[in-house]
């Protein structure tokens, strides 16, 4: 076991009437984290058929991604596509691989939970046992409507890739980082640009799997960009530098990043926005993409500021052959925090992660626990209600790695020593708690 108390507490918001710095987190997301419709489906009585029950279940839990023109490899809108993959569907839901929701249940209440209930899994099983019948198409629910364009309305400003990027045909897992200058004038009485919301709008949903953003105040991203021809530069686990925040992210159906009224966050002067886009193009022809980010300005008065607490381990190494290697790190709160979201980040040989809040009175709250880490499904978990954490609370992150030959996700054959870093075959251990604080 390695233990690292390399604590960092990053803040985002107004720290004085004329000063605001952005250190809000880049959302490390991959996969579909859209919130399902507000009203759960009502399954009709009678024999289990696609039209009566199964279509409603998939509409509620799956069609955000599994519909024509979206990132999933097949649609679950019509009967034929669903029937063709019925055995695979049952296997995936029984193993809790789909819908993607790695967080363990029962710790805290999350918003937009996508886990199927045991009754819903049993419903799919009974459908297969009955021969997977279609039923009467007249029983189908009305098609689910999905938002298009800017969900928050016309932005006050738009940041965009400086030129389109071409994704070659029949390629997968292209991670490309694009450096975007932030040329937005801030109000005269603020040093930074105050915003209340940001929204990522992918240019080509056929090939954009997910987007995450990073703020660079060091200029490192410009150097990385200059070293590679064409738009952007190759990146994987992160943007290749220590980011001081971001402007949110995107996966199919994800809600934009928005703070509550009276809360502020913003972009520091001279910063560059780095947008990491994960591309997949299974088609036979090249596709182009020009992804944009819309910014909505905030206006006072502000009584709270957005806040980010990050605990990151660095300088660690994982011995070749280790089946369970544990790295821990921690950060302490310097002021009272109302936590609103939590997420973690590791790379390919990560196996489990836990984020725990240790309060000064001995209270212990497990905010996030993932027993089966999957790099492909890194989600931001929004809390149903803010969790108050007093000043002095220690946020501890425990990362578990499997660097053995038995780990089929290990990229090294035979296993080799793995160190912390930004490359594909390096590792990371990071936990982040997002929320708001009262003091300016």
Question: What CATH number does residue 236 fall under?
Answer: 2.60.120.310
Give the number of other CB atoms < 10 A from CB of residue 148: 8
43 within domain boundaries = no
pLDDT of residue 40: 66
| Percent residues over pLDDT 70 in the chain | 88
Question: How many domains are contained in the chain?
Answer: 3
pLDDT of residue 192: 63
38 within domain boundaries = no
Q: What is the average pLDDT across 89-110?
A: 90
| Percent residues over pLDDT 90 in the chain | 57
Q: Is the pLDDT of residue 19 over 50?
A: no
Per-residue pLDDT band for 191 (boundaries 50, 70, 90) equals: low
* Cα 250 from Cα 31, distance rounded (Å): 9
**161 plus 241 within the same structural domain:** yes
Average pLDDT of the chain is 85
pLDDT of residue 253: 64
| Contacts of the segment 184-188: beta carbons below 8 A, 24+ positions apart | 184/157, 184/159, 184/267, 184/295, 186/266, 186/269
**274 plus 312 within the same structural domain:** no
137-151: per-residue pLDDT in tens?
Answer: 999 999 998 877 898
The burial class, CB within 10 Å (0-12 / 13-18 / 19+), for 131 is exposed
Of 260, 275, 302, the position where a domain reaches its end is 302
The pair of structure tokens assigned to 321 is 């052959």
Q: What are phi and psi of 4, to 5 degrees?
A: -130, 120
Greater confidence (254 vs 146) lies with 146
The burial class, CB within 10 Å (0-12 / 13-18 / 19+), for 74 is middle
**316 plus 283 within the same structural domain:** no
Residue 173: domain span: 19-33+149-302
Q: What is the average pLDDT across 90-99?
A: 92
**25 plus 171 within the same structural domain:** yes
75-79, 100-104, 180-184, 214-218: least confidently modelled range: 180-184
pLDDT of residue 4: 39
Whether the Cβ atoms of residue 253 and residue 146 lie closer than 8 Å to each other = yes
pLDDT of residue 95: 92
204 within domain boundaries = yes
Whether the Cβ atoms of residue 415 and residue 320 lie closer than 8 Å to each other = yes
32-78: per-residue pLDDT in tens?
Answer: 344 444 466 767 667 899 999 999 999 989 998 898 877 788 899 99
Per-residue pLDDT band for 11 (boundaries 50, 70, 90) equals: very low
Of 139, 168, 195, the position where a domain reaches its end is 139
pLDDT of residue 32: 38
pLDDT of residue 33: 41
Per-residue pLDDT band for 14 (boundaries 50, 70, 90) equals: very low
pLDDT of residue 36: 47
195-237: per-residue pLDDT in tens?
Answer: 888 999 999 988 998 898 999 988 999 999 999 999 999 998 7
Whether the Cβ atoms of residue 404 and residue 320 lie closer than 8 Å to each other = no
Of 281, 302, 323, the position where a domain reaches its end is 302
Q: Is the pLDDT of residue 239 over 90?
A: no
Radius of gyration of the chain (CA): 22
Angle at 351 between CA 360 and CA 10, to 5 degrees: 45
pLDDT of residue 42: 67
pLDDT of residue 16: 33
Greater confidence (367 vs 111) lies with 367
């Amino acid at each position: 076991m390695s233990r690292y108390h390399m604590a960092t507490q990053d803040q985002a918001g107004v720290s004085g009437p004329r000063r605001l710095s952005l250190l809000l987190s880049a959302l490390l997301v991959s996969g579909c984290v859209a919130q399902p419709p507000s009203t759960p489906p009502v399954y009709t009585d009678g024999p289990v058929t696609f039209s009566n029950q199964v279509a409603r279940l998939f509409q509620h839990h799956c069609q955000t991604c599994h519909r024509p023109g979206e990132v999933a490899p097949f649609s679950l809108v019509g009967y034929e596509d669903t029937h063709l993959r019925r055995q695979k569907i049952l296997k995936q839901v029984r193993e809790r691989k789909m819908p993607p929701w790695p967080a363990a249940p029962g710790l805290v209440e999350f918003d937009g939970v996508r886990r199927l209930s045991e009754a819903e899994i049993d419903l799919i099983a009974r459908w297969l046992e009955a021969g997977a019948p279609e039923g009467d198409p007249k029983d189908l629910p009305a098609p689910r409507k999905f938002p298009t364009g800017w969900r928050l309305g016309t932005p006050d400003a738009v940041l965009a890739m400086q030129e389109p990027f071409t994704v070659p045909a029949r390629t997968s897992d292209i991670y490309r980082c694009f450096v975007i200058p932030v040329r937005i004038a801030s109000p005269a009485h603020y040093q930074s640009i105050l915003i209340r919301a940001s929204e990522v709008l992918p240019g080509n949903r056929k090939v954009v799997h997910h987007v995450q953003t990073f703020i660079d105040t060091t200029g490192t991203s410009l150097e990385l960009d200059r070293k590679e021809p064409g738009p952007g530069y190759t990146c994987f686990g992160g943007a290749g530098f220590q980011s001081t925040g971001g402007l949110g992210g995107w996966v199919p159906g994800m809600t934009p990043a928005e703070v509550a009224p009276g809360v502020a966050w913003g972009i520091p002067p001279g910063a560059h926005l780095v947008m990491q886009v994960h591309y997949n193009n299974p088609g036979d022809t090249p596709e182009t993409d020009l992804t944009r980010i819309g910014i909505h300005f905030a206006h006072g008065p502000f009584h709270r500021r957005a806040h980010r607490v990050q605990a990151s381990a660095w300088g660690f190494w994982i011995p070749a052959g280790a089946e369970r290697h544990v790295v821990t790190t921690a950060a302490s709160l310097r002021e009272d925090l109302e936590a609103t979201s939590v997420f973690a980040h590791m790379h390919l040989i990560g196996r489990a992660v836990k984020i725990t809040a240790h309060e000064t009175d001995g209270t212990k709250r497990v905010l996030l626990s993932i027993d089966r880490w999957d790099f492909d499904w890194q989600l931001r978990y929004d809390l149903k209600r803010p969790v108050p954490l007093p000043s002095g609370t220690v946020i501890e992150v425990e990362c578990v790695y499997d660097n053995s030959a038995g780990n089929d996700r290990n990229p090294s054959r035979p296993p080799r020593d793995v160190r912390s870093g930004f490359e594909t075959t390096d590792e990371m251990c990071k936990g982040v708690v997002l929320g708001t604080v009262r003091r300016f």
